[in-house]
Amino acid sequence: MEPPLHFSGGGPWPVTTFLYIDGFNLYYSAVKGTPLRWLDPVSLVTRAFPRNEIACTKYFSARVSPLPGDPGQPMRQQFYWRALRTLPDSEIILGEFRTRRVRAAVVSPPPNTVEVYKTEEKGSDVNLAAHLLLDGFLGRYEAAIVVTGDSDLVSPIKMVRSSLGKPVGVLNPQRTSGPGCRPPRHSAGLQHAASFYQDSVTWAQLAAA
């Protein structure tokens, strides 16, 4: 049986919690194209789940490459990472980011194909799953929170809950208000896998963090 999300007896006591952040998912779901790029993800999560005391933050991402239309993105990323490293007990774990030219089909030919840049981020979801499981097996946390909308993480979340009896919360960072927001996509898999779940964030919540 999972322990309670907070302990009673003399008042609610916070649960020692490790925070695992899917960096690219957070960026593309919540802050891309907005002035909110200096988001403090720990503040966002503690406002959503105030009874969980964040003891360690692990941010999973990869170094981006300059693109012809945006040569400054690697520098902006480094500035943000520098800010993240000022958070207490935080760590950035890197995967790989690949940019290559590929041929893509055109909706209304001719021509039948055009050359485009394809960007792929590799390894962050695997790294996050590995750390979530290892930290759980080593007893480093009482509870975990994962910031992601990626259903590929359903299995490791279920493993921590079923095999270790530890609660795992999920904050899905899809933004549902403010300029340029996209229609929300419900993730039944993540919601059912999680011990506690928030399915979206608002512009006001992001701005407050």
Predicted confidence at residue 13, as pLDDT, reads 67
Q: What is the pTM of this model?
A: 0.84
Give the type of residue at 34: T
Burial 167-198, CB ≥16 within 10 A → b, else e: bbbbbbbbbeeeeebeeeeebebbeebbbbeb
Gap between the Cα atoms of 176 and 166, Å rounded: 30
Taking the C-alpha atoms of residue 136 and residue 141, their distance in angstroms, rounded to an integer, is 6
- Range 145-159 average pLDDT: 97
Domains along the sequence of the chain with CATH: 15-95+123-208 (3.40.50.1010)
pLDDT above 90 (res 156): yes
Note the pLDDT of residue 4: 42
Distance CA 194, CA 116 (A): 37
Convert the pLDDT of each residue in 42-64 to its tens digit: 999 999 999 999 999 999 999 98
**Helical residues (DSSP H) of the chain, grouped into ranges:** 23-26, 41-48, 73-84, 124-137, 154-164, 188-193, 203-208
Question: pLDDT, tens digit, for every residue of 15-47?
Answer: 899 999 999 999 999 999 899 989 999 999 999
Residue 11 pLDDT:
40
- Amino acid making up residue 197: Y
pLDDT > 70 in the chain, percent: 89
- The residue among 129 and 109 whose pLDDT is bigger is 129
189-148-40 Cα angle (round to 5): 155
